[in-house]
Chain A
Amino acid sequence: MRVMVVVKASKESEAGEMPSEQILADMGKFNEELVRAGVMLAGEGLHPSSKGKRVRFSGRQRTVIDGPFAETKELIAGFWLWQVRSMDEALEWLKRAPFDGGTEIELRPVFEAEDFGKEFTPELRAQEERLRAEIERQHPQHQ
């Protein structure tokens, strides 16, 4: 399974402060361990929300809102994508991450193909069938 590890923003990250050399070194070591274990698929850090934008949707209207955004604790500062066997394994990896100072990190399982089995709605199924009918027209030899 894949898990997204969501790193929440902090006052420091929102202020655009760069982490100390020590933290960067520790994080580098942790990342290296993740890579060596075949766990890390991707990971990025994000600029503070002052460089971000939001789009609000309402009917046909799209309103652009410029950052920074106020609710620091709800903002994200970065993410990893991990390949693990279970949430427990992801938890165990996360515990080893060199965070401190009340930081909260969130783990969220990524939807995989098999998760869609039961939740495949009639609409999606119909769409899939239209697609298949189209395919049949294009490649009759496969059917």
Chain B
Amino acid sequence: MSPSPGATRAAIEAVWRIESPRLIGGLARLVRDVALAEDLAHEALVTALERWPAEGVPANPGAWLMATARNRGLDQLRRRRLVDERHRELGLAAAGAPDAPDLEAAIDEDVGDDLLRLVLVACHPVLAAEARVALTLRLLGGLTTAEIARAFLVPEATVAQRIVRAKRTLTEARVPFEVPKGADLPARLSSVLEVIYLVFNEGYAATAGDDWMRPALCEDALRLGRILAGLVPGEAEVHGLVALMELHASRTRARVGPGGEPVLLADQDRARWDQLLVRRGSPRSRAPRRSPVRSGRTRSRPRSRRATRAPGAPARPTGRASSRSTTRSWR
């Protein structure tokens, strides 16, 4: 029995959410342009939407999407090379186009590096904060423009425009698709942490809409944080941020009363705290002290007063009701 068209479509969307970051990262390394990489990936998605309902979802959908997108990318690069050659023959300067890289060799490099490059580009300081958030959720979180718009309660067209402009800015600024070396890396990572924290905060203490929490955004931020922690496991600050978010998120259930009204920390029913998140958050929050010291702007941030208060935390963060582990992380 073949699945219904609706089921196939849902499967394609799920595949997209899982595969798109790797797909776009791999393609961006190939074509050295995140905007073009995303276009290529989307073209592959459109092809999948056309063909999979009839042919079925392939056994390895990620590889299928990659092969489809890569072939289009190679076509484009070849065309660009051809144009460059013509230009040279005509005595014109190659119009600033970078040399096409060694294509096949480029494809087999480490996927983790691609994702790291991708998130660093999406959070590049050349972009405005809103654009970084939208681009990160789209490129790394696999969210659609509509999902991002719903999450932030803004019109879809606004988000679409933010993303288009952001991609244009990246192309115009010729932001390289690479992991910066040396002292630049901590600074760039701190920009990524800010974006993740911004997403979390909007979920934890929403600035728009009637609900004062939007847990889905917290979950997205947590996932992004965990992905980043996997990409740069040696960066203490990333673990610190993930722990901070997990401890805050552990109280989500207890923060709202039956009528939707906020419940302050001291009044919260601790039995409703999510113990899994408390546990996950606790050892991690100690990890930075054990990890090799690395000077970075945000290293002390999760422990600073400003940061702990920011995500809607009550005025008395070390109140009676906080457990030992929570108080510890708040110091």
Which positions in A face B, CB cutoff 8 Å? 1, 35-39, 41-42, 81, 83, 85-86, 88-89, 91-93, 112-114, 120, 125, 128-129, 131-132, 135, 139, 142
Residues A81 and B276 in contact, CB atoms below 8 Å apart: yes
Cα separation A120 to B257 with both chains bound (whole Å): 11
Cα separation A107 to B122 with both chains bound (whole Å): 33
The 10 closest A-B pairs by CB, nearest first: A38-B226, A38-B223, A92-B14, A88-B14, A88-B10, A89-B14, A113-B253, A36-B230, A38-B227, A135-B267
Contacts of B222 in A (CB 8 A): 38, 83
Q: Nearest CB to that of A32 among chain B residues? A: B230
28 CB-based A-B contacts, threshold 8 Å = A35-B226, A36-B112, A36-B227, A36-B230, A37-B227, A38-B222, A38-B224, A38-B225, A41-B276, A81-B276, A83-B219, A83-B223, A85-B219, A86-B10, A88-B13, A89-B14, A91-B14, A92-B11, A93-B18, A113-B252, A114-B215, A120-B258, A131-B269, A132-B257, A135-B267, A139-B266, A139-B267, A142-B267
Contacts of A88 in B (CB 8 A): 10-11, 13-14
Smallest beta-carbon distance B275→chain A, Å: 11
Asked whether any CB of chain A lies closer than 8 Å to the CB of B198, the reply is: no
Residues B264 and A112 in contact, CB atoms below 8 Å apart: no
Smallest beta-carbon distance B220→chain A, Å: 8
Cα separation A39 to B14 with both chains bound (whole Å): 13
Contacts of B15 in A (CB 8 A): 92
Q: Would you give the 0/1 interface string for B212-255, flagging 1 where the beta carbon is closer than 8 Å to chain A?
A: 00011001001111110011000000000000000000001100
Between A and B, how many residue pairs show CB distances below 8 Å?
A: 63
Residues B276 and A128 in contact, CB atoms below 8 Å apart: no
Residues B13 and A142 in contact, CB atoms below 8 Å apart: no
Smallest beta-carbon distance B209→chain A, Å: 14
Instruction: Kindly list 17 other residue pairs between chains A and B, CB separation below 8 angstroms, not including A38-B226, A113-B253, A142-B267.
Output: A36-B112, A36-B230, A36-B231, A38-B223, A38-B224, A41-B280, A85-B17, A86-B14, A88-B13, A88-B14, A91-B11, A93-B18, A113-B256, A114-B215, A125-B258, A128-B257, A142-B266
Tell me what chain A mostly uses at the interface: helix, strand, loop, or mixed: helix
Contacts of B13 in A (CB 8 A): 88
Which positions in B face A, CB cutoff 8 Å? 10-11, 13-15, 17-18, 112, 215-216, 219, 222-227, 230-231, 252-253, 256-258, 264, 266-267, 269, 276, 280
Given A35-B226, A92-B11: A142 and B264 interface contact (C-beta under 8 Å): yes
Smallest beta-carbon distance A114→chain B, Å: 7
Contacts of A129 in B (CB 8 A): 258
Contacts of A86 in B (CB 8 A): 10, 14
Contacts of B231 in A (CB 8 A): 36
Contacts of A131 in B (CB 8 A): 269
Q: Nearest CB to that of B59 among chain A residues? A: A95
Cα separation A81 to B279 with both chains bound (whole Å): 14
Cα separation A125 to B260 with both chains bound (whole Å): 12
Smallest beta-carbon distance B244→chain A, Å: 16
Smallest beta-carbon distance B315→chain A, Å: 11
Contacts of B253 in A (CB 8 A): 113
Contacts of B257 in A (CB 8 A): 128, 132
Cα separation A114 to B86 with both chains bound (whole Å): 61
Residues B226 and A92 in contact, CB atoms below 8 Å apart: no
Cα separation A42 to B224 with both chains bound (whole Å): 17
Residues A113 and B264 in contact, CB atoms below 8 Å apart: no
Smallest beta-carbon distance B210→chain A, Å: 14
Residues A37 and B258 in contact, CB atoms below 8 Å apart: no
Contacts of B216 in A (CB 8 A): 85
Residues B267 and A112 in contact, CB atoms below 8 Å apart: no
Cα separation A36 to B230 with both chains bound (whole Å): 5
Pick from A35, A83, A112, A113 the residue with the most CB of B within 10 Å: A113
Contacts of B276 in A (CB 8 A): 41-42, 81
Contacts of B280 in A (CB 8 A): 41
Pick from A36, A81, A91, A92 the residue with the most CB of B within 10 Å: A92
Cα separation A1 to B218 with both chains bound (whole Å): 11
Cα separation A83 to B18 with both chains bound (whole Å): 12
Contacts of A114 in B (CB 8 A): 215
Contacts of A139 in B (CB 8 A): 266-267
Pick from B112, B226, B230, B256 the residue with the most CB of A within 10 Å: B226
Q: Nearest CB to that of A89 among chain B residues? A: B14
